[in-house]
Chain A
Amino acid sequence: MKKIVRMVLVLTLLGLISGLALSLVSNYADPIIEENEKEATREAIYYVLKSADSYETEEVDGKVIYRALDSSGELVGYAFTASGGGYQGTIRLMVGVGPEVWKVKGIQILESSETPGLGGKIRGESFKSQFRDLVARGEIGLVKSGEPERGEIKAITGATISSKAVVKIINTELSRVRSILSTGGE
């Protein structure tokens, strides 16, 4: 009997101490972690919308949309996050569009675990720059070889699946944001 009491006592005590210590550390670290995430979002918004000077966060129909303004307070476009499955794990993107929502202004990769050297090249400037000022009235197209036409992206050699995933994620979220923005006010 004495043994059992001691076992219970020791484990309870350990759990209490560990819980206390962890809540102290998390109290200290959580605000910093949150600030880091905000900072990453901020950087991504200014990356995808080059002319943006400030932005407002809005939530329409459960979708967070960042309204970006230039230095004179003029609307330069919207930014929003989009995510979906890649070749490995989830890809999370920040997408910037113009005020009329038919032009993609730029994209940034927030999170991806694509194969380094192949699918990982979606992080590279040469892939991302294809989305700069891309006219996309309908859906963005993808070509495997040959020259991309208007509204098309050239897939990365050896990483067709990753390239396709990025385009698909953008297309899906783009049409959602379009319908939100066309009905939700503005």
Chain B
Amino acid sequence: MQDFVRGLWKENPVFVQVLGMCPTLAVTTSLINGISMGLATTFVLVASGLVISSVRKLLPDQVRIASFMIIISSFVTVVKLLFEAHIPEISSQLGPYLPLIVTNCIILGRQEAFASKQPVGRSLLDALGMGIGFALALVVLGGVRELLYQGTIGGFQVFGTWYKSMVIMVMPAGAFISLSLLVALFQRISGRK
């Protein structure tokens, strides 16, 4: 159980470890983008974690990273093809960041630090926790940016017509500003000053 919760809060990949910043900053222009990116990454994390953990004793040490990369990139390609086939609008919104999940350091990091050394059950919990923790962070960030940019959350009007859209929130600068504020808030809540 501890393996699962760790990724959600205490070692949250975005707010605490500050890993995987490329998708975190780039695709969180709206809530729906955040959700899809988070779910896609979780899927890759869980699937490759399961495979790597179950074959961990067969992999020679010298080629373990190469093996991880083959497994991870296969799952990323699967996700990319399925997204393009079934949700083309979201896939075109995410653009190059979908195939770029392959370079997300959370994924390789968890394989190296956890899945390649632990039994399947624990690896599954760890991957789920890290994945959902990452997804939650993207959802919060995407939601905040969408709200401040056009006054909507997930496409639903939250602020009235009086709200003047803040273009900066949807640009890279807005990503940095909102991410840093959220990290600060997170540190405050969890009592680490």
Contact = CB atoms under 8 A, between A and B. Distances in A.
Interface in A69-114: 111, 113
Contacts of B78: 21-22, 25
Interface residues of B, number: 27
Interface stretch (A10-18, A164-172, A178-186): A10-18
Contacts of B59: 10
- Where chain B touches its partner, the secondary structure class is helix
A18 B102 CA distance: 15
Interface string B64-93: 001100110110011001101110100010
Interface stretch (A28-36, A57-65, A148-156): A28-36
Contacts of B70: 11, 14-15, 18
List 4 A-B pairs, minimum CB-CB distance, nearest first.
A117-B167, A32-B85, A29-B81, A18-B74
21 contacts: A3-B60, A3-B62, A6-B60, A10-B59, A10-B60, A11-B66, A11-B67, A14-B71, A15-B70, A18-B74, A22-B74, A25-B77, A26-B81, A28-B85, A32-B86, A33-B81, A33-B85, A40-B88, A117-B167, A117-B170, A118-B167
Interface of B: 29, 58-60, 62-63, 66-67, 70-71, 73-74, 77-78, 81-82, 84-86, 88, 92, 95, 149, 165, 167, 170-171
